[in-house]
Structure 1
Amino acid sequence: MINEETVVVDDKLELIDAIQQLGIAYHFEKEIKHALDSIFSKLDDIRMETKDNAYIIALLFRLLRAHGFIVSQVYGEDTLIEAQNFTIQHLKNFLSCSSHDSHKLRDYVANALEQPLQWRVERLHTRWFIDAYKKEEKIRPLLLEFAKLDFNVVQNTYKRELKEVSRWWSNLGLWEKLPFSRDRLAENYLWSVGWAFEPKHSTFRLAQTKTNSLITAIDDVYDVYGSLDELELFTEAVDSPSTSEAMSRNPSTAACTTKGSRRLLPVNA
């Protein structure tokens, strides 16, 4: 449907936006690119046709910019700043004047004011949007059902990955030998999901979680535990080409983090 010639531009843009916010755009990358290429080739005509529809103009601008199309934008122009302030103020007024059940847009407005779309963790937003999309008038049941199934499948992938890094972290034993260090494995994994949530990036998420967990431990060694002399030895050990040499001249705590850092190197990343 995305690339059907009979579908009007407004509907195409809304469909692409829904697919992205439902978290299933990675299944339709070629179709979305083809549709946006077609729209961009007719951009001047589309602008004229939709010039009185601020919603479609904003949606068109956001989708094209997000996919790398060259659409003029100079942040800092007085007009854009005024438009932003005007919009925020009126959205806040809308929330204060409407009851909880009076308007279907209330949830969208509250969510938009809480945090801009481009700053959100995609998978967390997808979970929220799946519930919000059920209330849409133009809901596409098959699309919604596919999004739910995909979300659950991807969640299972995350569970398997989290089990794997948890096993690695437990076997490493770093948190037992460095009790002063923060144990932030789950948070570090969530960070990697926020960076690249698609299933195909599993190797990246595993490697990044391990790296971030070791960086957290090393940061605490520097900031919380180590003396100046110990940290100088630790820094030398990290730079040393020989693991055995590093272990022989390093204090036990620094040696432990050095060993953990070196054990990460063979990981296929």
Structure 2
Amino acid sequence: MAFSINGGGFSASFHLPSIDNEKRLRHGKMVKEIGYILNNTDRNDPLEGLVMIDTLQRLSIDYHFREEIESFLKAQYMNFRSPNHPLFDVFGVALCFRLLRQEGYNVSQEFAKIDYEIVRSIHQKEILQITNWWKDLGLAKELKFARDQPLKWHMWSISVLADPNLSEQRVDLTKPISLVYIIDDIFDLHGTLDDLSVFTEAVNE
């Protein structure tokens, strides 16, 4: 379809694209599918839903899902008022804080502070576990040339597994990381060529 505007020596032609019924049907189907996913996102593990809402807003198509978004964010707001709210990493806290504030909810910065304190407490307990494990292992006394840095080793686990809920996995991961550091020190500082050759052959086998 096209039409022209003439006047004052100005002439312009506008072409209006037509949308066939097949595209409209596909569009409607996709809207329903996205709305269904948003409605059925696990409220106890809400990061997926928060990321989806953020993506819809960035694409400027969130107006199709106002009811679903409002319902989801209302549930998250109620979770934040509960002492048993789901734990987020820094990204999750920042995203949820912004989306709720953007939607008009009065979310105090105190939530972010409390969440930080909770996560810090989790990490402190992990470090205590690792320190006790390393002390009981006794390698620090036997291998005085090796590094004695359980906190440094655990920082690798925290950076790889940032989700606060993965506490047990972080502790388990730190243990082999510490042994890798010890082996590295043996190779660099202490082992003789013959000893290291035997050790390498044993590992390869």
TM-score scaled to structure 1, two decimals?
0.41
Partner secondary structure for residue 141 of structure 2: helix
The one-letter amino acid paired with 1:30 is: E
**Residue number in structure 2 paired with 1:236:** 201
Residue correspondences, number: 129
1:181 aligns with 2:146: yes
**Residue number in structure 2 paired with 1:34:** 52
1:159 aligns with 2:124: yes
1:218 aligns with 2:158: no
Superposed, 1:84-233 pairs within 5 Å as: 142-233=107-198
Structure 2: 5+ residue stretches without partners = 1-43, 62-88, 95-104
The farther-off stretch of 195-204 and 167-176 is 195-204
Q: Deviations over 1:53-95 (max 9, x none)?
A: xxxxxxxxxxxxxxxxxxxxxxxxxxxxxxxxxxxxxxxxxxx
Query: 2:107 and 2:59 mapped to 1: Cα distance?
Result: 30
Query: 1:237 and 1:176 mapped to 2: Cα distance?
Result: 25
Shift, 1:157, TM fit? 0.9
**Residue number in structure 1 paired with 2:38:** none
The one-letter amino acid paired with 2:123 is: Y
Aligned CA distance change for structure 1 residues 176 and 237 (closer, same or farther; 3 Å): farther
Query: 1:41 and 1:141 mapped to 2: Cα distance?
Result: 25
CA RMSD in angstroms comes to 3.5
Q: Deviations over 1:84-125 (max 9, x none)?
A: xxxxxxxxxxxxxxxxxxxxxxxxxxxxxxxxxxxxxx86x9
Query: 2:183 and 2:123 mapped to 1: Cα distance?
Result: 26
Query: 2:151 and 2:167 mapped to 1: Cα distance?
Result: 15
% identity of equivalent residues: 31
Shift, 1:224, TM fit? 0.6
Query: 1:193 and 1:170 mapped to 2: Cα distance?
Result: 20
Q: Deviations over 1:24-46 (max 9, x none)?
A: xx964133223134235437xxx
Query: 1:223 and 1:34 mapped to 2: Cα distance?
Result: 48
Partner secondary structure for residue 166 of structure 2: helix
Aligned CA distance change for structure 1 residues 191 and 148 (closer, same or farther; 3 Å): same
The one-letter amino acid paired with 2:149 is: R
**Structure richer in strand, relative to its length:** 2
Shift, 1:202, TM fit? 1.4
Structure 1: 5+ residue stretches without partners = 1-25, 44-121, 130-139, 241-269
Shift, 1:204, TM fit? 2.6
Superposed, 1:29-68 pairs within 5 Å as: 29-42=47-60
The one-letter amino acid paired with 2:117 is: N
Query: 1:231 and 1:142 mapped to 2: Cα distance?
Result: 59
Shift, 1:141, TM fit? 6.3
Partner secondary structure for residue 199 of structure 1: coil
Aligned CA distance change for structure 1 residues 41 and 142 (closer, same or farther; 3 Å): closer
Query: 2:198 and 2:119 mapped to 1: Cα distance?
Result: 43
